[in-house]
Amino acid sequence: MDRKSWNRLIPAGAALAAVVMSLPAVAHEGHHEQMADAAALRHLLTEPDHLAILAAVVLLIAVPVARLALKRVRK
């Protein structure tokens, strides 16, 4: 891996770490363990706080993957 790639990977890793470490801070009351699987999935995909975290994780994964794919296509 060249230095330019590392310079992009380190901030993305730091952002991911910040998101993961902040998850308990944005948690709300209630226990997901007590829900049935279907109810827990519905809850995770319909609550705004969960959707925001899901969107952040998807972006943190999709943007570097898309950049890598474009870089390989351009070669």
> 30 falls in which pLDDT band (50, 70, 90)?
low
Count the domains in the chain: 1
68 lies in a domain? Answer: yes
Categorize the per-residue pLDDT at 7 as very low, low, confident or very high, splitting at 50, 70 and 90: confident
21 occurs within a structural domain: no
- Does position 18 have pLDDT exceeding 70, yes or no? yes
Establish if 23 belongs to a structural domain: no
**What is residue 29's predicted lDDT score, i.e. its pLDDT?**
65
Inter-residue contact 62 to 6 (CB < 8 Å): no
Indicate the pTM of the whole model.
Answer: 0.51
Residue 26 domain-assigned (yes or no): no
CA 51, 43, 25, 20 dihedral sign is negative
Alpha helices in 1-75 (DSSP H): 3-26, 37-46, 48-74
Residue 20 lies in a domain: no
Q: Tell whether 8 is covered by a domain.
A: no
Query: Is residue 26 scored above 80 in pLDDT?
Result: no
48 is in which domain, residue-wise?
33-75
Percent of the chain scoring above 90 in pLDDT: 0
Closest CA to 67 of 1, 2, 9, 3: 9
Neighbours of 45 (CB within 10 A): 10
